[in-house]
Structure 1
């Protein structure tokens, strides 16, 4: 989870995706600001406009839930969604979209590249773009400026910054009346059950990606009788908030073999993981000063190997950004650290804490056994523990919020499932997803060769398979193929 935000963490402006471990920065921080104004948006019909200007009839809806159901008299918060009415004369159970992150907005997702899928699924049922608690139309955590000075982009500097700033923010939000303990995946899952009741549906189906699958698993554990079918991509298991560094190394080895099929790339880079290690070690021993655009003019930032590992952890999510790695690392190996300036947003954007993502990750936590394994693997892996920033770096910063072993325990899932994965997904690698897939007993798998984390929109056939699955048609395993990425040397 602590991962791509893809819709999950701080945004790399040039790469257009999330830098792991930095709370949903540029795009998401702005979304949180906008959400405060959206809180007063009225329910009812309206014209929904996608990012590319397409329009359709839709309806905003709201319902209220306790912010923390475990606290008697907890304040009630309003959760929002957009409903796209079904075009079918006999619609099936509503299909609820669960965004990734944590921290992604279902409504904002519907505006983007998945808009055609939202529209296609209306042939089956109403499609609900749901904003989970703490996001978009459902945001009730107030904005607050950071107060801790920005650190160097080293492991020690960033770990200390995140822990101090998170503790300060937690106190501020609690004093403001926010029940921060309610921002966890079990409460989030119970919101989905309340949404089902609000919709007046006997059952609903779930369609989710990344953290949305982590949430879906909790819904299946807590409310299995309420779910008709699930279509999930880029799976993240109950004890996979923190990814195993060894699995990331396996992914990078696959990428290196793919690079080896291009003679020019192989001649320039005999071994990509070795090049990456060399760059990281050099900058960790002797951090560089990189001048980046700031809020009030240029800002000099100390960049260690850990900062470069963070950058790479974002770029591995999807092939268009993955293809940039050779060019970037060749430049860094030649001492051209200015290449990094265009890959990071201004510091005031990537050092940001918005509350919901961090609280969700802290609550989902990590089992002691997995933590010990990850700490051991991180010592020798290419990306170390930067890939998972800010977890487990934040562990223990806020005591008493971990949901415990029962939350993270595997289970047996009988609900019909369509499970979609991309072979070049570096955020939730195939080795991680295999642990989750083993829990499903009634499943069909779709593997898209050369697709990344954002696999739903990567291949046009996926939309057709999703529609057929939610229509109740029998599904079988399918292999789809996309052209491999072309790796850039310049």
Structure 2
């Protein structure tokens, strides 16, 4: 699922990076000696320091890649590139390269089975997320491997489409749900399609199935007998696909912010919104001070959605990255999509909703605009990969009517114009008609059945991927550990020390993860306006 970016105000110290500021990682000289595929590296030979060929794929050591933000941990990494066929149905055809960074374990007595990180999005860059993973302790006693998914920032070609980000910045000044905004949305998608086609004639090759095969090739090319997988957000869709198509050599899998391939699409975003909103509203209702100051918060929010959809509010806000005030229009759809990300800053949400209800939209408008109009939001996400996933794997298997029915069922008071646009994925069916790639085979929607030990982790305030997706996935896994971390939003590992502790304990012992820290968690201390 496209990882919606959290509002910039009141942002927690540990978060999945919303944007990546430009910098070049430190270079690390490594050897180039060749080793035959399938041979184990010599004793004491660090991962990523030997060139190797595996079938039609080849890993070559080299400098760490350029990243959009400084990533200090790459100074310690072994890096290189994996070259793979762009389209495996034509293995001798065009090749693409994927950047690889391997951060060594923090201890000398490391486990022999590393962890490979699957980034979200679709379209986020795994190498740029290395600091997040290492700050969370993932390399405590294992090497951690980061490889850019095809099309992403540190891959070649990089299918970024900055025009989409620039358009998203303009949307804050437009009526979000208006047909005229939809027409502009599709126009931006066509421009992106043309940009991607100029980089590669085979945009349909940028999909989850090919990405899963890339990782299977990486494991063999690095000479790894067994490894562990950890995926976040859309990376859970990729991880589940990988479990189904390439289970060989996988010791265990962790997934956080679960998006099952069999459910992925616009309709499931309404379920995520319902569960995330309800979790936050319930936490406020259970806290005496919050409930007293902001009673009936859920009903207030629903009323505001309908009110703003009928009569959008226009204001201006000051954004640090802009020299002039920014015009912001809030309608019902914008308000819903704002809250899907604002659960990341849950402590301030009741106050923001209450201020809007009393005629002051500034806090919400600042958050709605803040991340979108920042120059740091431009040119970071691989929209070419995102549309490949959306349009080849999701929209062929659901209709616009499916999205509307899900919205009406879960939010019966919302106007049709609001439920017609799935949270995070507005105008997606029209966009995909413009993107024009063939549907992937129905197998991409298969329920995943596996006996690989799997940590299935969700978050109680997650309004982007439903917490109930975790138990849904676990039904067909024979050795799952199902965890819901309360009071945090999408991707619990990114902001919860408890989630980080559970994750590292799981990789230590995949059938006996230590979840005792859950008992000590408490709801946020909600902001109470004077």
- Give yes or no for contact 1:418–1:443 (8 Å, CA) kept in 2: yes
Report how far residue 376 of structure 1 moved.
0.9
Q: Deviations over 1:101-122 (max 9, x none)?
A: 22222222221364242331xx
Give the direction of change, closer, same or farther, for the CA distance of 1:104–1:212 in structure 2 (3 Å limit).
same
Query: In structure 2, what is the equivalent of residue 134 of structure 1?
Result: 151
Give the direction of change, closer, same or farther, for the CA distance of 1:483–1:175 in structure 2 (3 Å limit).
same
Query: In structure 2, what is the equivalent of residue 234 of structure 1?
Result: 257
Q: What is the rounded CA distance, in whole Å, between the counterparts of 1:257 and 1:185 in structure 2?
A: 36
Is it true that 1:264 corresponds to 2:264 in the alignment?
no
- Give yes or no for contact 1:46–1:57 (8 Å, CA) kept in 2: no
- Give yes or no for contact 2:252–2:510 (8 Å, CA) kept in 1: no
- SS at 2:437's partner residue? coil
- SS at 1:453's partner residue? coil
Is it true that 1:489 corresponds to 2:528 in the alignment?
yes
Query: In structure 1, what is the equivalent of residue 224 of structure 2?
Result: 201
TM-score (norm 1): 0.83
Query: In structure 1, what is the equivalent of residue 474 of structure 2?
Result: 437
Report how far residue 457 of structure 1 moved.
4.9
Is it true that 1:388 corresponds to 2:403 in the alignment?
no
- SS at 1:446's partner residue? strand
Query: In structure 1, what is the equivalent of residue 130 of structure 2?
Result: 110
Query: In structure 1, what is the equivalent of residue 324 of structure 2?
Result: 297
> 1:310 is matched with which residue: 337, 353, 361?
337
Report how far residue 425 of structure 1 moved.
2.3
Give the direction of change, closer, same or farther, for the CA distance of 1:413–1:284 in structure 2 (3 Å limit).
same
Query: In structure 1, what is the equivalent of residue 385 of structure 2?
Result: 356
- Give yes or no for contact 2:273–2:340 (8 Å, CA) kept in 1: no
Q: What is the rounded CA distance, in whole Å, between the counterparts of 2:76 and 2:275 in structure 1?
A: 45
Is it true that 1:100 corresponds to 2:120 in the alignment?
yes
Q: Deviations over 1:328-360 (max 9, x none)?
A: 111111221233342123547678874232332
- Give yes or no for contact 1:248–1:426 (8 Å, CA) kept in 2: yes
- Give yes or no for contact 1:367–1:405 (8 Å, CA) kept in 2: no
Q: What is the rounded CA distance, in whole Å, between the counterparts of 1:187 and 1:473 in structure 2?
A: 27
5+ residue gaps, structure 1, are 18-23
Q: Deviations over 1:132-161 (max 9, x none)?
A: 122232252355553997451321344322
- SS at 2:196's partner residue? helix
Q: What is the Cα-based RMSD across aligned positions, in Å?
A: 3.6
**192-201 vs 141-150, which deviates more?**
141-150
> 2:358 is matched with which residue: 324, 334, 338?
334
Q: What is the rounded CA distance, in whole Å, between the counterparts of 1:26 and 1:421 in structure 2?
A: 20
How many pairs does the alignment contain? 468
**70-79 vs 364-373, which deviates more?**
364-373
5+ residue gaps, structure 2, are 31-59
TM-score (norm 2): 0.77
- SS at 2:492's partner residue? coil
Query: In structure 2, what is the equivalent of residue 12 of structure 1?
Result: 7
> 2:186 is matched with which residue: 163, 166, 171?
163
- Give yes or no for contact 1:35–1:135 (8 Å, CA) kept in 2: no
Give the direction of change, closer, same or farther, for the CA distance of 1:35–1:413 in structure 2 (3 Å limit).
farther
Is it true that 1:425 corresponds to 2:447 in the alignment?
no
Q: Deviations over 1:189-247 (max 9, x none)?
A: 11101111221122322111111111011111111123221122221100224325245
